[in-house]
Each structure stands twice: as structure tokens, then as C-alpha cells.
Structure 1
Amino acid sequence: MIVSRRWPVHPAPLPVEALSSWLRRIAVHYHANLDDLASDLGYALDGPEEIDTYPPPGFTRELARRTGLDLHRIQRMSLSGWAPWLIDQAEPDAAAFTTYTRQFSVLLPAGRRRPRELPTWQAWLPSGPAFRACPKCIATSTPPYPYQLLWLLSLTLSCPFHRCLLEPRAKTVSYFSDWERKPPTPRLASATVLAMDSRTWHAMTTGSVDLPRRQVHAGIWFRLLRTIIDELGTSVSECRTAGRLIRRLWKESGYPHRVGPLRWHPHEGYPLDVQLRTLEATATTIHLLESKILAGQGPDAAFFLPSPSGSMEEL
């Protein structure tokens, strides 16, 4: 049991590190475990997933008091701390999907996609196991290996620093002993994937993203990404005349047909391999829009076009 009332911030949290990862590293410093640490704060946890998504009320405040670290910095280490940027709100809402994914229209004309009510949906939070990690990040760190909040979400494909793809994990987030014995061979990410994921990393660390036409708030970037993902998976009846564009975008991404089961699901509800292919198609789509190889039919495709004046604006 940890008996000190205040903990020094050692080790310090890393950029975009998941809250459970940081707390586990603190616990190891005190020769304890994550449950001991939570108990010392006055809480019993259901597992690391709880504090990486929606920590108990008061948990982050008590953690800030004990460590002296800024409360907002700690909150941003879990998904709920990213409301309303990455997610609209911490509590599930049946109207959240429509609110989040219908604010913009990039590939399809505005108003083409019908509203959908999904009572338990949360943006970017996979409904099934989807943990991935950068093999080079793990190889260059020491136990207990830190892991990023981004690795737990259906949002990125690669590590922009090591320029390699994230590798799927069948083990729990805290277990990397198998990679110690037999590390995976890093696979180089494509330039289009790295361009998309570098912007996402910038959004998570600075709060803004540079697009060709203007600098936008991180919340706009996340919603533009999610809009394109939703448009790529739109049913044929909703696509109408834009169906040819959607089919070509999938083909340009290396897939002759739309990826995924015929029955519609939100991106976060598909199997991991479908989510990854859809993210790949999204990166390809952004590249084709910015290169003017293809033109979106929605008004917000203009975000990916150069400013007529040649200068970057802010929004």
C-alpha cells in the first residue's frame, strides 16, 4: 500500500500517454500495482479501460492534488477529457452520431446522408478489442512500457515519429513480454497515411491542424475525418450520383469494392481490419482531394483546397 499523501510527479507523463499507462509507471516506481494506486486515491477500478475512457468522478481531481500536475493535463489522458474536441460529450447520447458526423459534408452533397440514432455510440471508441502499438516505441522504451491514448482508438494507423504502422495486439495494454521475445518487424507507413496521422498527432498535442486553406481547430479536424469515414461507408441509395466517386476512392485505395459487411455499422463497430482499411481509404481520399485529382461534391471539400489568395487563414 502507498502511504505517502502526496506523490512526486515521477515519472512524468509523456505526450498523448494514456492515463492507465502513466499510473502504472508511477505504481512500479512505488513497487505497487495499479489497483493499489487507485485504492490510495480512494477508488476501486474495474480495469485500465475505465480510466482511459471515463474515470470515476473526482478521480482526476484527486490525482491532480496528489501529484501537483495540472488537472487539464491529466484529464486529456483519457477520452472523456477530450470533450467537446475529440468527442461531443462524455455521456452517450442517441443523437450524438448525427450531430458529430453530419456537421460537415466533403464527398457527398450536404443533406444526402440520413440521420441515425445510436444510443451507445462514442466517436473513435472501438466497440471491440482494437489495441495497437508502435513496435519501435516499445523497442526503444523500458518496462513498464508506456502506451498512447491514440493506440486505443480507431483514429490512426501509424506512428508519425518512427514512420511505421501500428501493430495489432492480442494481449492486454500492459503486456509486451511477447514483443520482448519476438518483436514484430516494423512496416513502413505510406506517405498519405503519415500525412493524415501527423495532423492528428498535431491536433492532440497543440489543439490545431494546418490544412491547405487554413489552420483549423482540432475539433474541426476530428469531425472532418469522421465525416469522410462515414461518407466512404454510405449506402448506395444515399450516395446517388456520388456513388461513382465513392467507388473510385475505394479503388484508388487498393480495394475494388467498399470494405465491410453489407449491413451498415458505424466505423467503431466494424472488425479491426475493416476499421484499418477504412482509415487507409480516408488518408488516400485526403491526398486525392488536396492534389485536385478528385473533387468532393460537398461544400466542405474546400477545406482541402489551397486558398485562392495563396495564404493560410485561421478558423
Structure 2
Amino acid sequence: MSVSHRWPVHPAPLPGEALSSWLWRIADRYDADLGVLTSDMGHALAEPEELDTCPPVGFARKLASRTGVDVNRIRRMSLSGWAPWLLDQMEPGPDAFTTYTRQLSVLLPAGRRRPREAPGWRAWLPAKQTLRACPRCVATTKQPHPYQLMWSLPLMLSCPFHGCLLEPHTDVPGYYLGWEYAPPQPRPAAAPVVAMDRRTWDAMTTGSVQLPRRQVHAGIWFRLIRTIIDELATTASECGAPGRLIRHIWEAIGYPDRAGQSFWRTHESSPLSVQLRTLEAAATAIDLLESKTLTGRGLNAMLFLPMPSAPVYDGDAPDRNSIAYLWARACSAFDEAVVEARGDPDTAKAVFDMMLYGRKSATAIQGVLSDLQDLGVPLHYLSHKEQ
């Protein structure tokens, strides 16, 4: 069967919806098969999941022409459309893990964590796909039920709309046939989990997150969470004295250190049970930092501290002219600029100019270019502007 060349925007995509979910619903509207829809646009579909990860080149633009939906919105319905915010790039590089997880520090001092190799690693993409869904979202919609792009990632624990935990399932996404007969009882998520997941939802839908100290870019938020997760997984030999802080967080939620893992592995390659416990520990850590129950030792822990509510006496005020204070602020600002530079040519040029300030030799220029490439900044952003 075939469908018309131009489809009316019905049903419209929902906020946060996965691309395959939207296309399943469009196919249902036309009483068509999903494979028919994709082949009608000139693309053979191997698995629906590939639409949510990295659709074929030109797929989003062709779909935009058929539906009238903005092409950038369609791209953000797949993980590839979230580079370099959620992940630096779809093709894993040799230094991807270090670049993503070691630029920031929250719980542990910078440089405390030992170098790790994670071949083929991509931020947040699980080695083994696990399917989760919100019971309330499923109960209040009809088949094929819309499902969120982030439900397949070890990034969120709860539904931002209903505040209940996402529940694992083994059925085809969008249908949940087992839930039709025995739906899971919605379980309310703990307050720290709800707070963290709502910020993640803000990052996805608005591009920024409001923290106690100030607003941060979505790319910074995703890296802050992933940094805390990596810090929570550090071994006792790495932590040293600050390891007491890490142990306190695990004790606060009643789990053994490192969620019971006996050896180090990435969050993405861990079993689902470990991923969920670690996310809960990350939410708890943020809550303890913001309540000042714990004091983070990393340079970026200050982001989770509220601004002073009243002036303090001069004798008690922090020395804002001290080398340590100024250096910490400079490092934090540079980290944020690098994250933004990965997706913005103007910012990339500004960072390049700053790093090259006072140096004009060919050797210096090549060194800065090499450093920026190691940091994940596309070098084609740094080409000369057209005259």
C-alpha cells in the first residue's frame, strides 16, 4: 500500500517523543505499516530502533517536507539530533570517555579519578537496550501509545509529568500488551529523583537548567550528572580521604558502595539494576549538596550551592581575589565554553582566540588546534570567515 505524498500534521509529535513512536502513530492513522512509510520516503527500515538512534541521512528533512514539522524538531526526536549536547558525537572516539566525564568535578577534587579506557563508548547509550515506560502515560493513552526518547536511556528514573518511576517491560514499545492485562502499580519517585529528572526534562525541552547558583546550558547539565555518576563509581584507592563523602551517599539510600559492583565498568555497560541505583545515588548526592549536608570537593560543586541570602561580614567573606578562587571560576567558565563550542562555530572561534592570545607563531596555532580537537571541538568551525 502507499500513502499520499504530503501527510497532514496529524497526529502531531509530542514533547520528548521518540521518532519511531511518532511514526508508529502516523502509520496507525493511515492504517499502514511503518516500513511502508519509511520506504515511501526512499529509506529501507532495518529496525525501528535505528530511527531513535541515528536515522538515515536526509530522513529528517524528507519527513519535514511531508509533515510540515520543523526539521530541527524532528532531528531532536533521535539521539543523533542531540549531539553535541547530550553526547559529543555519534561515532565513538578513543578519548570520548575522558573528554565527556573528566572536564568537570563535583564530589571529588579534580584529577582524583584515574584515567580509564572505554573503547566504543558513547555517553548515555546503553550497551544492552532496556525498555521502560511510565504506567500512567500508558494508562491514559491508546495504542500505539506514545513513548519518550529518554525512556530507553539510563538517564531518567521517573516520568516528569506524573512523578512515578519508569517500569521495565519486554513488550514492543507503544503496545505494552502485557500491561493491558496486568498493569504495574505506579510507584511514586522520591523527591530528589523527581527534582533531578525535572531538570533533565527542562534541559531537553528548553535547552537550559536552573540551578541554585545560576542557569546552565543543557550540555553542562548532562555532563554534571554523568560526572557525578563517574565519581560515585570510583574505587576506594582512587578516592582517598574524600571517599568518606562517596560512602555517605551510598549509605543514605541503603545500597552498598558502587551499587555492589566488584569491579569498575561504565554506567552504560552496567546491568539495569546498577544503573537505576546509581541514578538514585546521583539524585541523592545533588539533594545533599543543595541542602549543605555534604560539601563537594570538586570545582563545580559550587553550582549546587544557593546564593548567599544576605551580605556577610568582611572578615568572613571569601577572598574573591585569591588565586584559588579566581582559578576555580576560570576553569568552570572555560569548561562551559568548550561544551558550547562543540556545537557553535562562533563560540569555537572565541575559544580559539582566547587560547591563542599573545601567541602568533605557527607552532602555537597548531598546538591550540590540536588541543581543541582533543576537546571535541570541530576544526572546520575555525575556518576563516568569508570576506
Deviation at 1:113, TM superposition (A): 1.4
Deviation at 1:175, TM superposition (A): 3.0
Distance 1:228 1:191 in 2: 18
Segments of 4+ moved more than 6 angstroms: none
Q: Deviations over 1:257-315 (max 9, x none)?
A: 3214212111010010100000000000000000000111111100100123679xx98
Task: State the AA in 2 paired with 1:133.
Answer: A
Q: Deviations over 1:33-63 (max 9, x none)?
A: 1111111011112211101011111111111
Task: State the AA in 2 paired with 1:295.
Answer: T
Distance 1:309 1:219 in 2: 28
1:156 aligned residue? 156
In the alignment, structure 2 segments of 5+ residues that lack a partner are 312-332, 337-387
Distance 1:8 1:91 in 2: 34
Q: Deviations over 1:190-229 (max 9, x none)?
A: 1111000010011111111110000111111000000000
8 A Cα contact 1:2 1:30, kept in partner: no
8 A Cα contact 1:23 1:34, kept in partner: yes
Are 2:192 and 1:192 aligned? yes
Are 2:199 and 1:206 aligned? no
1:77 aligned residue? 77
Deviation at 1:4, TM superposition (A): 1.2
8 A Cα contact 1:95 1:116, kept in partner: no
Distance 2:243 2:304 in 1: 20
1:44 aligned residue? 44
Are 2:274 and 1:274 aligned? yes
Distance 2:310 2:17 in 1: 37
1:147 aligned residue? 147
Task: State the AA in 1 paired with 2:159.
Answer: C
Deviation at 1:256, TM superposition (A): 3.5
2:247 aligned residue? 247
Are 2:120 and 1:120 aligned? yes
Deviation at 1:160, TM superposition (A): 2.1
2:222 aligned residue? 222
Structure 1 residues 120, 34: closer, same or farther in 2, change over 3 A? same
Structure 1 residues 242, 269: closer, same or farther in 2, change over 3 A? same
What's the secondary structure of 1:209's corresponding residue?
strand
What's the secondary structure of 2:137's corresponding residue?
helix
Distance 2:157 2:34 in 1: 28
Task: Give % identity.
Answer: 66
301-310 vs 283-292, which moves further: 301-310
What's the secondary structure of 2:242's corresponding residue?
helix
Deviation at 1:117, TM superposition (A): 3.0
Distance 1:170 1:31 in 2: 25
Count, aligned residues: 313
Distance 1:103 1:310 in 2: 32
8 A Cα contact 2:234 2:258, kept in partner: no
Distance 1:98 1:45 in 2: 34
Q: What TM-score comes out, normalization by structure 2 length?
A: 0.78
2:378 aligned residue? none
2:173 aligned residue? 173
Distance 1:255 1:3 in 2: 53
Q: What TM-score comes out, normalization by structure 1 length?
A: 0.96
2:8 aligned residue? 8
Deviation at 1:3, TM superposition (A): 3.4
Task: State the AA in 1 paired with 2:2.
Answer: I
RMSD of aligned C-alpha atoms?
1.6
1:14-33 matches, cutoff 5 A? 14-33=14-33
Distance 1:84 1:62 in 2: 23
1:107 aligned residue? 107
Distance 2:146 2:244 in 1: 44
Structure 1 residues 249, 194: closer, same or farther in 2, change over 3 A? same
1:132 aligned residue? 132
Using CA pairs below 8 Å that are at least 6 residues apart, which structure has the higher relative contact order? 1
Distance 1:31 1:14 in 2: 20
What's the secondary structure of 2:125's corresponding residue?
coil
1:308 aligned residue? 308
8 A Cα contact 1:260 1:270, kept in partner: no
1:257 aligned residue? 257
Structure 1 residues 163, 221: closer, same or farther in 2, change over 3 A? same
Task: State the AA in 2 paired with 1:305.
Answer: L
Q: Deviations over 1:230-254 (max 9, x none)?
A: 0000122211111111111100122
Task: State the AA in 1 paired with 2:60.
Answer: T
158-167 vs 219-228, which moves further: 158-167
Question: Which of the pair has more CA radius of gyration?
Answer: 2
What's the secondary structure of 2:300's corresponding residue?
helix
In the alignment, structure 1 segments of 5+ residues that lack a partner are none
Structure 1 residues 233, 310: closer, same or farther in 2, change over 3 A? farther
Q: Deviations over 1:131-181 (max 9, x none)?
A: 100000000001111100010111000012111100011223233121111
What's the secondary structure of 1:221's corresponding residue?
helix
Distance 1:257 1:116 in 2: 19
